[in-house]
Structure 1
Amino acid sequence: MTERVLITDRATKIIDQLREKHGELMFHQSGGCCDGSSPMCFPKGELMLNETDVKLGTIHGCNFYMSKDQFEYWKHTQLTVDITTGRGSSFSLEIPLGLRFVIKSRLFTDEEREHLEPVEYASEEA
């Protein structure tokens, strides 16, 4: 299976720090509010999901979601979550560390598209 969302080693270290302090975590790809289109990290369950949210996969033990409308634009790309220095203007948990998560993307190859990991709608999760 071709994964839709990946994570860098640098970003996993920050998730480990955040998990120590906040417990289980989740990600939601922002649709342009606050800090542009940044992935935002929350304590698991803090952001209310609904039938318009799509689960793209799991990164370092954290579910990764985005809105269905935004997924229509991004469904042809593989996303990689990374970390960079600088304070974003979102509510994401890493902001007080002087860091922020960012997305790097690339188009899937034809072969990868044939083997894409399926997505789930948040309303389908048990």
Structure 2
Amino acid sequence: IFTYAREGFGELIGFCSAWGYWLCAVIANVSYLVIVFSALSFFTDTPELRLFGDGNTWQSIVGASVLLWVVHFLVLRGVQTAAGINLVATLAKLLPLGAFVALAALAFQLDTFRLDFSGLALGVPVWEQVKNTMLIT
């Protein structure tokens, strides 16, 4: 990014593009970690105990810092280690999605979609239903 911008538009634009890229990477890491701990709060927080909150409690900050340093040290160990961890993380994402698809296929009931799809039993034409829906949304 830096070289392309510098060669095409000069030193200042090259610097600004490199600085902007670095800033986006830093902000992205912070936002990902806030989302992770905000999601964890769904499982850990109770009305009496607000452990991770919206990802902005001191426990979330400590956990995010630890995770960020773990990722940093994994990258320092080499690309092979990081690639292995990336594979495990990808499988950890895909397995629940596959389970959801399988369970949805098992729970699918075709009769739900055969139930007067045109809406004629209501005594109101389809276009009238569409118009009424558009008026309230």
Q: Smaller-chain TM-score range?
A: under 0.3
More strand by proportion, 1 or 2?
1
Q: Work out which structure has the larger RCO, using CA pairs closer than 8 Å and 6 or more positions apart in sequence.
A: 1
State the TM-score, normalizing by the size of structure 2: 0.20
Q: Which has the larger radius of gyration?
A: 2
State the TM-score, normalizing by the size of structure 1: 0.21
